[in-house]
């Protein structure tokens, strides 16, 4: 066990020097991946062989170069799901679980009110995280998702296989013509980083996440403007919309809906750190 602790200390020190935000967590996650054991079982590991120690050192070096941890282990946890991720798809963030939870709760509320099969549309699905969560947590919901990127679509196809989600490849601006006026919930985690904020984006995202999933015009609101109008056509009167935005867009993102018009109950919501994170609204009846 002392050898394991020493390996973890060494790996954590390398990651700390590289500016990784969570060095101890990442070191343990990488060692658990190398040994193919849950992190909770690491205290029970007596020793690490030379070959596994070499594999760990190689992965730590890649993480120190700011390659995302999820790319190195091949998965990302999201609510009750374990998603396959890698180059070409946006790695889902923990804060987006709140938006997914809002969509789940909205669909469950509809079921409780008598809508047995609420219709949910996920625009810009990426890895399929939100769509998969709704399908998993709201049995009976009819979940649809769209993704423009061919690479991300392939990852979503893998993650949503067997889930019952209707996954399509295409542009959110004209997606789901067959559902116009029949959708109960529209949800989206769109690109929202302003182009001018390039230098401020963490290297893990800037250098490894697809730029299509990150940047959205000079003010970061271009995709949200499209969503505001597309959701109006997709939703039935009284249907609801929720979308994520940057923490600096707590006023400007809701204002998009106000400017478009036709939306009621426009509200912004904070994440667990108290930062503005997602906006919800109801289509006027």
Q: Whole-angstrom Cα distance, residue 51 to residue 247? A: 43
In terms of C-beta density within 10 A (0-12 exposed, 13-18 middle, 19 or more buried), how is residue 18 classed? middle
Contact at 8 Å (CB) between 177 and 88? Answer: no
Counting beta carbons within 10 angstroms of the beta carbon of residue 139, is it exposed (0 to 12), middle (13 to 18) or buried (19 or more)?
Answer: exposed
CA distance 231 to 174: 10
- Annotated binding residue at 147? yes
278 is in an annotated binding site: no
Check the annotation: does 118 bind a ligand. no
Residue 243 bridge partners (DSSP): 188, 279
> Is 43 marked as binding a ligand?
no
Show binding-site residues for substrate: 189-192
Show binding-site residues for S-adenosyl-L-methionine: 147, 189
Show binding-site residues: 147, 189-192
């Amino acid at each position: 066990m002392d050898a394991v602790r020493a390996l973890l200390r060494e790996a954590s020190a390398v990651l700390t020097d590289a500016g990784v935000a969570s060095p101890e967590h990442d070191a343990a996650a990488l060692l658990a991946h190398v040994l193919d054991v849950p992190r909770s079982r690491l205290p029970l590991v007596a020793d690490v062989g030379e070959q596994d120690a070499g594999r760990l050192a190689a992965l730590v070096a890649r993480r120190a170069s700011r390659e995302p941890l999820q790319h190195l282990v091949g998965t990302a946890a999201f609510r009750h799901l374990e998603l396959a991720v890698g180059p070409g798809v946006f790695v889902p963030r923990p804060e987006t679980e709140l938006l997914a939870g809002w969509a789940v709760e909205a669909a469950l509320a509809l079921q409780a009110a008598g809508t047995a099969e609420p219709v949910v549309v996920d625009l810009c699905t990426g890895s399929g995280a939100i769509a998969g969560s709704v399908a998993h947590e709201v049995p009976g919901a009819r979940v649809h998702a769209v993704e423009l990127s061919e690479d991300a679509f392939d990852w979503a196809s893998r993650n949503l296989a067997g889930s019952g989600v209707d996954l399509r490849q295409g542009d959110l601006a004209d997606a789901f013509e067959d559902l116009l006026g029949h959708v109960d919930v529209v949800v989206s985690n769109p690109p929202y980083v302003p182009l001018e904020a390039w230098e401020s984006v963490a290297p893990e995202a800037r250098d490894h996440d697809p730029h299509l999933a990150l940047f959205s015009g000079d003010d970061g609101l271009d995709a949200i403007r499209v969503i505001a109008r597309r959701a109006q056509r997709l939703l039935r009167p009284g249907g609801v919309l929720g979308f994520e935005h940057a923490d600096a867009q707590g006023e400007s993102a809701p204002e998009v809906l106000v400017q478009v018009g036709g939306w009621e109950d426009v509200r912004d919501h904070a994440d667990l750190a108290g930062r503005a994170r997602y906006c919800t609204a109801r289509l006027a009846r």
